[in-house]
Structure 1
Amino acid sequence: MKILKLLVAFIAVVTVFTGCEDDVITNYAFQDISAPTGVTANFGITQDDTGLVTITPVGEGASTFTIYYGVEGAEPQTINAGETTSFTYTEGEYSIRIVATGSTGLTSEFNQVVRVSFTAPENLSFETAVSGLTAVVTPAAANATMFDVYFGASDDEEPVTVMADSSVEFTYAEPGEYSVRVVAKGASVNTIELTKTITITGAVDPVVLPVTFDNPTVNYAFGVFNGASFEVVTNPDLSGANTTDSNVGAITNSGVQFEGGAYNLGEPVDFSGANKTITMKFWSTVEVPVLLKFEGGVNGERQTEITKTHSGSGWEVLSFDFATEAIKSFIDGNQGVGEAFVPSGQYATMVIFVDGPGTTAGTFYIDDIEQSGGATEPMIAATAPTAAEADVLSVFSDSYTDPASVNYFPDWGQSTTYEQVDLSGNAAIKYGNANYQGIDLGGEFDASSYEFIHIDVWSADYASIPFFIIDTSGERPVNLEVTAGEWTSIDIPLSAFTDQGISLSNVFQFKFDVQPNNGGTFYIDNLYFYNASASVPDSPQAAAPAPSFDAANVISLFSDAYSDVNMATWRTDWSAATLEDLSIAGNAVKKYSALNFVGAEPVSQINASAMTHFSTDMWTGDATQIRIKLVDFGANGTYQGGDDSEHEIVLNFDNGDFIRNSWVTLDIPLADFTGLTSQSNIAQLIFSGGPAGETTVYIDNVYFHN
């Protein structure tokens, strides 16, 4: 799923370029100084009616843990990593806070509610959600503090312990029927348990683009021919264009001609629009031609293909542009083989040949086969900032006053080109043919009194751009993690720089050092320092970004950009939330306050079977969790008619799934709603927020699209 994330990462720098003529800027190699990650804790409660709870915190990069027991008057205790603490509770519910501190002094927090009851657990139940080989168990019981879950995978299985109001996930090795046993425990000596049988179906879903080999519900079996073999394996070489520790496809050639394989796609590849480029990550240690062919035209379209040569350098990205490079494939008795051909229809079969007419033997790896060729430049402006000008030191933004001394294109000998472009009446900076690029402030700025630096970035070429602040005390980078083809709004705590020894008292330059420096393009806007404590509004000040999908490819429930279907309600009578219809910057918005959960229902059930994504824009200043559920009533169109299906997507602020105090576009593939077995009779959309009943969320642009 494409969810907006802010990832601050530090990189080691060997050589840097600056535009400073008189000063020599020292280059530094430095260690990762990020805060501890993965902070959690293992809890245990003695079942002897004493209320003794043991707490064992864990977290990567943590040196010490400070435990706040959630009891008024109880002193917090600091322990070293690997140690355990305990506390004796009376009956009640307690919010335990754990602060993990790393060697650099940076901290991360984990919070857990623990219920202590000396009454035996009662009314045990649990729900299971199965997706491919993975099962998620969510237990519930009155008076229970925690649950031991046995997934029935082996006779000597150790249970997985999960706290109340939580879920636990397990992936089985193979399909089959398994007995899941849950034991509910509290402070009482008595426990209760419940066993259910679940069916694990394994990977049965058809292959659709993009092909990642990581979805446990998809059957990635490749229809090989002429001696080739295929299997899904873990990426054997985390380098080059594929450094992700994930699954990849392994094609092994035996050494005869025209070895290959094919996928019969669950959804045809559509070349009718502008998206006519297919990219594929491919691994080989020898130079080899790779042929990508599409056949099985839905309406009898002519078969088409492209051959690309891999250099043999490991992981590379091969790009097949069917708008400019495609030719007609060989067909017995059909003329025109090899002629240029631009496909404009839909194809149900994708074929791959490695060294088709040749006899090269060996194993080759493929990954991340996806269709692209969409926008190569931003069509809309970045979202206007909302910070008050009194709290801002601006470098470039239409919303604030920029210093006249700033030079956005100093001559440092770079190959990069510079242009100011107009996007919907808003200026942005375009850097093309990039290798590195700087901004010279024309003097020294004192940014030491500010908390954050903000920048909006758009690029179809770069996923990560090292960004340097250059001060008289030195220079240090932070990675700007960019979502391809979208404006990415990034807020960086200035502690990310001061913790590396940059004073920020005399900032005179910025630098972008793109990786790889291959002549790509990126755009920037709204570059400024600011103080969040004084600037964060409690509601959106600007409209959500306008959607740009063609109306013919959209089913809209709520948006000023499209014609909406008729909705019966945006707040059902069983909802637990307050609804207000507002106008923000002239744009209609739904505001849900005191949000626990809220249902929206169309007048007529929606057939979204031809759609690929569910999208909405969301703004919240206080949510820790957002959940989005789609409910389909099945072919009979009735609630609980026996063929209902539903699935809920859970987004957590702590995981970076969304950010606060900014419009965030959630563009979720419908394939991620794995429990939604049908999309032809969608009858309900349910938004939920956490903390339950304490959250305010603004919603705009709710629609399905392909």
Structure 2
Amino acid sequence: MRNKFKILAYLFIGIIMYNCSEDDRGKIINIDSPTDVDAQFTIAQDNSGEVTITPTATSANSFIIGFGDGSGSSERITSGEQIVHVYDEGSYDVTIIAFNTNGESAEVTKTLEVSFLPPENLQVTITQDEENVTVEASADNATSYIVDFGDGSETVTFGNDETLEHEYTEEGTYTITVTANSGAQETAVYTEDVTIEIEEEDPNTDISIPLTFEGDPESYVFTEFEGAPTTVINNPDTNGNSSAQVAQTERVQGAANYAGAFIILDENPDLINNNQLTMKVWSPAAGIPVTLRFENPSNNQNGVEATVNTTVANQWETLTFNYSGVTAGQDITKMVIFFNLGTDGQGNIYYFDDIEYGEGDGGEDPGTGGSFTTIDFEGAPTSYAFTEFAGQPTQVVANPQMSGINTSAQVAESIKVAGAGNYAGAFLILDQEPDLTAATFNIKVWSPAAGIPIIFKFEDVNNPANGIENTQTTTVVNQWETLTFNLSGDISTGDYKKMIIYFNAGNTGQGNTYYFDDIEMQ
């Protein structure tokens, strides 16, 4: 009875702690209630009946153990600690009560079998699927099983009615040893050999559009012809392209005027629904023609191509390639790239990276950005993957205010929920970094009130301390207007693809709804 009062006292203290817990700003800290409450029983192998109980749970920092043998409960122990208790042989319902720092609790009752008899009738099932194996075991009187997979990895302990999984990393024949334990010193042992053969991955695994050239460089197997060796290397110029790796093509001295390189994609590019591709290119000179072609691997006469000239020298730029004439079912998995097609090789080196779908007739996927032209939110609403923070959920909806200067079918909606932080906002990660050296953006905005401050910002995806922003204020009520945000200025080197918008910046949320559309870069 005294132990029951002890548990109730802990619970009462926990409730007080929960109700009084506040952060530095006076807000209650929300901590998840404990879940996945469990315990591991380790029975000494000397017939002493000594059992080590290790409680576990998610979101718990302390435990109380009810031993289930009439001796009461333990003192409260912290997460990671163990309790040692001596049992007579028998079956016991052990109660594990888990607490979080707010005093909330969850409990589970687990049966403990204490037997001094040795394991008998050990049955082990080992199932193999290439380099993966699963182990199941059962035995009379057994309380746990220890598995040695024979590959030098640590032994693993598991219980009755559990399945153990293991993955081998090297080929070979391994002896799996399963040892069954009970409360007795004597054990039962089972062994079985497994032979592991690991199939080598195709070096072209997952070579498809979008193509970023990250990962193992040897995975990108380009075949060059007539003097244009092409490989994936570390990016030699991260100014304007922060990718770690890029593709390099060298037009060797004297190479044929049609020298190029190709790679076989795992799947056809979708140039029917997305007939525009963008590619980052670095060239030692402006005016160099770059041809990106997709053709049938067996018939190079069956394909489509587009050519775009470079416009800058010794720096990264994004080129846009437009395609037409692709038919459904057409096999054009051979991607060929030519630099300076029609001119003999001069020993120049070119780089290219991030071959991605652009806007095209099939519609841009603005949820992942695309090259920045105008974001009009007319694609699939789920494509626009806005992430809100501090209470400004944002999504694309059918235009509820189709009037005046905006009769678009779809717009973006932001709700600054009641009580939202004064810094609440939402952001969208673009595929391409806009040129912010002299950037001005027009945005159509609908607000329920005039005088609402709106911040439009671009931020470095890797360093939120770096960014550039501008604030404009609404001037009309319940109607569309165009606000102009001037974001030109000096900014630190970075990857400014994080586009953020804040409504009623500096003020806590009042539950108002705002709409915006047609983000256009001037």
TM-score grouping bracket, smaller chain normalisation: 0.3 to 0.5
- Over alpha carbons, which structure has the higher Rg? 2
